[in-house]
Chains A and B, each alone.
Chain A
């Protein structure tokens, strides 16, 4: 899938650098120091943590629930006296509460899909890289060809099959998103498996599975973290696209994509329905993008 953030290209490049890097030193301390020095990344982390805390905690303190109907205030602009700080929708539901619930939903589905794709991608790539030879060739050829499939068409078919169950849906999307991850991990595994500690483990009689998951996978933290950071916004955008097609989550729950596609229709008549969700979406995606960039730079082994 073409990246929102040119994720594939960034990772491929990063991977090359990792492979050519001098071996031996731990990255972690260096990386944290460099990340902290990157103002945009630090601000992004701050913003994301704030959004996360607010959308998961603040709903408990709001005067209105996200599915509660206020019959006296239907499609009204922000009204502080009535407790509708961001106005109400066409059903008289509080937009602030709905925006928070929608952000929660978007983050949760993006998280689930990312997790699924990381798990599949890491296992697939590690297995292909570790066993090498014909297994590797077949597995990677499969990945090559999967790249050529019209991704979004399969997502739409999946939605049609799974109905509107958001968890299933995003497990499905995760199942289609793992290709790049698999490639990166395979490359890393190919180089890692020649290293001394893997040789040592093999000599002591460890099974291939325990070598892969005990010794190789833990060394893949860098690419996985970057990958995850850049995949989350990707999925949020995919979700908004599906919402526009009417394939979003079930009411009364909502998601940022659903809110924005509904708000887009009434951009002139009821602008407050679009503004709030759009600001959150833009802020969140920019933060994720800068954080991904920052992580990439921080974990870059080349300049050490």
Chain B
């Protein structure tokens, strides 16, 4: 009985939406979004697939242009105080939530307070820690939210005070953690405000439908301030995680954009659909961590031997076939606020054969040889690409007398082991939260004492160098961007010469874009908001 009802309802809904679409001749974008959203609440979201949905229906003070550079969004204009600590934003006139309620400065203040409220338990709240007292509130040290450095001067003016001058702060404001939430809805409904029948937004699109396990659908918001320039009327965010199936669907013309694709299809695409695969540098580093707290890898000679005997030039072109660029340093090329020459070790230009010979000598010095091999376990999280790289690297290390045992596990187990220091070599990757060198270099900072235990954060290898930590602290206090960049360069060289970790390649973003889509601009943040796209039939 119930099933019949559901079926009838589904059929009915299908017919109605079909009619509606054909009547309006809407321009529909079908995006293979690559994952089921965990949450469309900006304070609970965690992934890029959620960002693509949320960024279409909510807009922050700042937003991204087609190149993913920060431009004013809900704010019309802003001023920054001379000491770089106080940002004042003036909101646009007439902006409103999709239920007609005006967007006010109060919504922003409310949103930031909710973000840092320990009860919200927002996992990415730390991205906005540059804001004054944010960290103290999130950790429960300060319980009076009024002390947070976000204030409503009046209904249309937001003032944000920072702990320290932060050169990337405007970029950080484009992140979904800085998005406003509709205060009137959240106060009325609590966490239920993101239920599809309740949700309202202030962005270029309005969420209309969510079929969990399948897709979300949003429609153009006619009240958006720039609605006249929004060309796509309707967006389907397809949730499928199976890249092979999504690729089949793209080839059959059922999807317009894919945000990931199976690597071995790249050559096929280049041959059969030239120009549709967009493989572009992306701010992120793929690396291996080596446990420097205990075991054989505490010996820098072993770390050096392992690192220099990796032939990084074959990984991108031959193993993955998508042209990932070999990485020898720690800060991805193109990172903002990082002028100066990129770090490149001397051995990178050495002939590979002689590098292997030198690696063998280093291993011999450390007491290992093919007769007396070093046995190591290499951990990676289950994934086709990670597996190939692990297999390739263990083959490269075999001549040094290194026996690798491969061990793959799902994400939760893998990172649990890395964080607990329960590994020898492990695969990791870092995509920059915002374009700033400190965001990757912080990964190598020493642990901090917390109660009885050391908190190593994302420094899985537990690289510990006081000199490096001192340089990072010095850089954080430095106001002049050029001087700061120089200090950060020094820190990067120091850590890389210590073989603190083993960078392997710089990430690339992999999109497939149908020729019918225009306005898709490749950029190193890999953010392409729907409002800049258009589609020719």
Contact = CB atoms under 8 A, between A and B. Distances in A.
A270 B319 contact: no
Interface stretch (A68-76, A205-213, A231-239): A68-76
Interface stretch (A101-109, A138-146, A220-228, A245-253): A245-253
Interface of B: 243-244, 262-265, 267-268, 314, 318-319, 321, 382-384, 387-388, 390-392, 394-395, 406-410, 413
Given A250-B408, A251-B387, 19 more contacts: A67-B395, A68-B395, A69-B391, A69-B395, A75-B264, A75-B321, A90-B319, A91-B395, A163-B409, A164-B409, A246-B410, A250-B406, A252-B406, A266-B262, A266-B264, A269-B264, A269-B265, A269-B267, A270-B264
Contacts of A92: 318
A34 to B, nearest CB: 46
Nearest to B248: A268
Given A69-B392, A71-B314, A90-B319, A268 B268 contact: yes
A246 B382 CA distance: 7
B318 A74 contact: yes
A262 interface: yes
Contact of B410 (A67, A93, A160, A252): A160
B425 to A, nearest CB: 14
Interface residues of A, number: 25
A93 B265 CA distance: 19
A251 B262 contact: no
B245 to A, nearest CB: 10
Q: Which 4 A-B pairs have the closest CB atoms?
A: A69-B395, A246-B382, A266-B264, A251-B406
Given A251-B408, A252-B406, A266-B262, A91 B268 contact: no
> Main SS of chain A's interface residues?
loop
Contacts of B383: 246
Contact of A269 (B268, B408, B413): B268
Contacts of B408: 164, 250-251
A274 B390 CA distance: 22
A30 interface: no
A252 B378 CA distance: 12
Interface string A252-267: 1000000000101110
B339 to A, nearest CB: 38
A93 B263 CA distance: 17
Contacts of A262: 384
Given A164-B408, A265-B264, A269-B265, A91 B244 contact: no
A264 B245 CA distance: 11
Contact of B319 (A68, A74, A163, A247): A74
Nearest to A268: B268
B382 A91 contact: no
14 contacts: A69-B392, A75-B321, A90-B264, A91-B319, A92-B318, A160-B410, A164-B408, A246-B410, A252-B391, A252-B394, A252-B406, A265-B264, A265-B384, A269-B268
